[in-house]
Amino acid sequence: MVLALMTLELRFQAHSLKDKRKVVKSLLSRMARRYNLSVHEADYHDVCNRACLAAAWVGANSEGARRVLEGVIALAEQAGAELIRPEIEFY
């Protein structure tokens, strides 16, 4: 059994906190639904063009975890976010 933890720092186009909430909420929902993982906004709550997302996934092997996390990164990039710093840990 593998536990995969990931934090993603993202930068994107948003001119207000309301715009940011719309983008982040949509992205969190798509990530959780598509990849069946737990994800939330972990930092930069009051910054309108940045977000830090934290995600956790449990699976049978590390190959599956890597595929899921690569998919999460791709989903963030498809949403128009610039990936600043991804951090991935396996336990």
| pLDDT given at position 79 | 83
If residue 57 lies in a helix (H) or strand (E), which one and from where to where? strand 50-59
CA 12 to chain centre: 13
In terms of C-beta density within 10 A (0-12 exposed, 13-18 middle, 19 or more buried), how is residue 15 classed? Answer: exposed
CATH number at residue 11: 3.30.70.1120
pLDDT at 81: 84
Q: Quote the number of domains for the chain.
A: 1
Look up the pTM and report it. 0.83
Is residue 6 predicted with pLDDT exceeding 90? yes
Confidence of residue 80 (pLDDT cuts 50, 70, 90): confident
Give residue-wise pLDDT tens across range 10-64.
998 888 999 889 889 999 999 999 998 999 999 999 998 899 999 999 988 888 8
Residue type, 74: A
Domain that holds residue 64: 2-90
